[in-house]
Amino acid sequence: MTPSVILEITLTVLFGLSIGSFLNVCICRIPEELSVVKPPSNCPKCNNEIAWYDNIPVLSYILLRGKCRHCSTKISVQYPLIELLFAVILLHLYYHYFDSGYRLIAVTYFGAFSACLLTATVIDLKHYIIPDEINLAGIIIACIGAMVYPRLVNEDSIWAGLLHSALGIGAGFASLRLVVYIGGIIFRREAMGLGDPKFLAMIGAFIGFKMALLVIFISSLLGAVVGSIVIYLFRSDKSNTVIPYGPFLAVAGYVALLYGNDLVQWYIRLISFE
Ligand SMILES: [Zn+2]
């Protein structure tokens, strides 16, 4: 490893931890319709402002042994977990795009994508909603990035980049909306709200329309398997089959971004062997 690679990895980890810390703020405040920039963080129990030295990602949680300095209320383990997870995601992206010739730009762009996926996942698990703010922010970042640096989305001009995102948005929204509509006819109830189609529109803005369609396939497969296990093992009321679909879309979106082409190739080989 060269010194510059070590520097890049260090920065990627530090950047991941601090953005992860910001994502925690988003996860707590966006569902409450509060600003994510001010006021500064305070303890939800005793309201004391959290000093900068008690707000260092992961490290402060360990030093404070997971408790507020003033009132000793337990701090949710969600905070260090999200920070660590996001740092790992950025490292994974760095590794994946290492030889691309634009790895730092890719880490930034698809890091923003992953930040939207992770924030929406946790909010959907907690509140059964995916806030429009996240989808909108993602769509704007996706379009700007695809136009400014079209190579990120395998295109070669501003307009091809924009078209990539626009088609992804349209296909993501329309295809999942159609599935909801057909599901509604078959099962005679609304299988999901508009939140999920809007979320897939955001995912499509980053990964394009072909991969957005692949996301429907992967996420329904994941949802069927994981959903049944969760309901069977952990639900006391087995008739309650409501599970948030957003997390499955998010995982599928990430998988499609990094391994979508390989999966499609593999599948084509599989069926052509007959
Ligand atoms: Zn406190």
Distance from residue 89's CA to the centre of ligand 1 (Å): 30
Q: Is the pTM of this model over 0.85?
A: yes
Integer Cα distance of 139 and 208 in angstroms: 12
Question: Residues lining ligand 1 (ion), CB within 5 A?
Answer: 43, 45-46, 68, 70-71, 73
CB 91 within 8 A of CB 13: yes
Q: What is the pLDDT of residue 196?
A: 92
Q: What is the pLDDT of residue 135?
A: 97
The C-alpha angle 128, 131, 152, rounded to 5 degrees, equals: 115
Q: Which of the four pLDDT bands, split at 50, 70 and 90, describes residue 182?
A: confident
Distance from residue 59's CA to the centre of ligand 1 (Å): 18
The C-alpha angle 151, 155, 157, rounded to 5 degrees, equals: 95
96-116 burial: b if 16+ Cβ within 10 Å, else e? bbeeeeebebbbbbbbbbbbb
189: pLDDT strictly greater than 70: no
Q: What is the pLDDT of residues 120-168, one digit of tens each?
A: 999 999 999 999 999 999 999 999 999 999 999 999 999 999 999 999 9
User: How far apart, in Å, do the first and last CA atoms of the chain sit?
Assistant: 45
Q: What is the pLDDT of residues 22-70, one digit of tens each?
A: 999 999 999 999 998 888 888 888 989 999 999 999 999 999 999 999 9
Q: What is the pLDDT of residues 204-240, one digit of tens each?
A: 999 999 999 999 999 989 988 998 888 888 877 777 7
Distance from residue 49's CA to the centre of ligand 1 (Å): 9
Distance from residue 119's CA to the centre of ligand 1 (Å): 24
CB 113 within 8 A of CB 257: yes
Integer Cα distance of 57 and 65 in angstroms: 13
Q: What is the pLDDT of residues 83-99, one digit of tens each?
A: 999 999 999 999 999 99
